[in-house]
Amino acid sequence: MDTLALSRLQFAVTAMFHFLFVPLTLGLGWLTAWFETRYALGDDAYLPIARFWGKLFLINFALGVVTGLTMEFQFGMNWAEYSRYVGDIFGAPLAIEALAAFFLESVFIGVWIFGWERLSKKAHAACMWVVAFATNMSALWILLANGWMQRPVGYILRNGRAEMVDFGALLTNPYGWLEFFHTVFGGWVIAGFFVLGVSAWHLLRKNQEDMFKKSFGAGAVFALASSLLVAGVGDMSGVNAAKNQPAKFAAMESVWETRTAAPMTLLTVPRLNGEGNAVEALRIPYLLSLLAFHDPQAEVKGLNDIAAQDRPPVLPVFLSFRAMVGLGMLFILLSGLAVLVWYKDWFARYPRLLQVLVFAIPLPYLAIQLGWLVTELGRQPWAVYGLLRTADAVSKTVTPGQVWLSLGGFVVFYSALGLVDFWLLAKYARKGMEG
């Protein structure tokens, strides 16, 4: 493998490891703030609930910070040409994230940890609301930066570099905002199913049933609302991709021929007709055009009309997109059933659903990783879409041996952190609530 392939692999490994921790933090902060607010407003039963989920939030937050630090170093190490070419633009939102949002959440998480006996109930609960808000704002600045890579705006090319001329265009870039909401809502789904699964585990064992029924209900409602929001934003993201990145959309749907009123193929039977071609068994007329542009007569561009060197890898993008959408539909079904069971107090009647929810905890993590595979692989071969190719963004002086060495170190380090995180989460999740 050459330096380019290894550098791409290393960034993928570190980004995917990092994103095992971040999404839970995005949603669990809001739920913890809600539980503590109920306590601050006079319901003492919510104190152990807030402490329990707050402890799990802290474990995940601490290890997520560590895994995020190494990612930015790679822009100078493995992607120096990228940093030279677009550093003036890409660096601005990352600097704001570090100096504003991350600083805010770090300060207030410290106040929350040490302020239980020093602050009033309402002031202490307010600290967690600030932490939850700042955590999501950190995601905003990072995703605005990534959105600029997907759809560069507000820049000029000068002296062989891209230079920012309109910071407001970056701030209002629709691609970045859609990525933000899609990612954040996905993180909320993870948090909802995490709370659901852990609560279900305890309810199956008759542990502190009154308290875990409360957290189960909150997790169920949060998961259902978030799953529906993900579906809504996902539809808008598909329209956005069809408009701004037709090659990505064509790969997502494996569209090869450009056509108007394009149907969606739901099932292809691997059977040969007289000409030796696969027979399409089930197609819904107009559906693909409708999904792509909200117009049943719209033209959908096929991959055959896109230069081969500008096409993303079709099979992994196509399969990842299908799996992600399928999981999203499953989340709506499971969280909807969980809301019904909680509302009717049917926990004893449907233990199988509780068992399924325990085993469903990893599924939203898988879905959000698949979503990022669609986003990033679908953008290839561009590091900045239409502006800078990935092959031109890699460092020129780094050798394959150096990347192999750092890649091996990252894998060992991140694997150890991942094991520690999952072990601590499992340990304290099984322990139950105190009080």
* Beta strands, E only, 256-374: 259-260, 264-272, 278-284, 299-300
In a domain, 333, yes or no: yes
143-174 pLDDT per residue, tens: 999 999 999 999 999 888 999 999 999 999 99
Whole-number Å distance between alpha carbons of 31 and 172: 28
Whole-number Å distance between alpha carbons of 337 and 20: 26
In a domain, 296, yes or no: no
Q: What is the dihedral of CA 325, 326, 328, 333, to 10 degrees?
A: 150
Other Cβ atoms less than 10 A from the Cβ of 189: the count is 32
* Residue 282 β-bridge partners: 267
> Distances in Å between the alpha carbon of 293 and those of 7, 152, 153, 163, 254?
36, 21, 22, 32, 17
Mean pLDDT on 21-26: 89
Mean pLDDT on 371-399: 90
DSSP reduced 3-state for 164: strand
Mean pLDDT on 274-283: 53
In a domain, 290, yes or no: no
3-state helix, strand, coil in the chain (%, to 5): 75, 10, 20
CB 292 within 8 Å of CB 249: yes
46-98 pLDDT per residue, tens: 999 999 999 999 988 887 776 766 777 777 788 888 888 888 888 888 888 87
- Residue with token string 């990033």: 376
The per-residue pLDDT for 432 is 83
Number of structural domains the chain divides into: 1
Domain interval for residue 33: 3-258+301-431
Mean pLDDT on 9-19: 85
193-206 pLDDT per residue, tens: 999 999 999 999 99
222-237 pLDDT per residue, tens: 999 999 999 999 989 9
Residue 275's pLDDT band (boundaries 50, 70, 90)?
A: very low
Average pLDDT, whole number, for the chain?
88
The per-residue pLDDT for 350 is 92
Judge whether residue 338 has pLDDT over 90: yes
pTM over 0.85: yes
**b/e map 384-400, b = 16+ CB within 10 Å:** bbebbebebbbbeebee
348-357 pLDDT per residue, tens: 999 999 999 9
In a domain, 282, yes or no: no
In a domain, 289, yes or no: no
The per-residue pLDDT for 435 is 58
The per-residue pLDDT for 61 is 86
| Higher per-residue confidence, 197 vs 99 | 197
Mean pLDDT on 97-125: 88
In a domain, 382, yes or no: yes
Strands 382-384 and 278-284: unpaired
Judge whether residue 268 has pLDDT over 80: no
In a domain, 24, yes or no: yes
User: pLDDT above 90 covers what percent of the chain?
Assistant: 49
The per-residue pLDDT for 276 is 44
CB 127 within 8 Å of CB 51: no
- Residue with token string 């990252």: 410
Residue 267's pLDDT band (boundaries 50, 70, 90)?
A: low
Residue 270's pLDDT band (boundaries 50, 70, 90)?
A: very low
Mean pLDDT on 265-281: 50
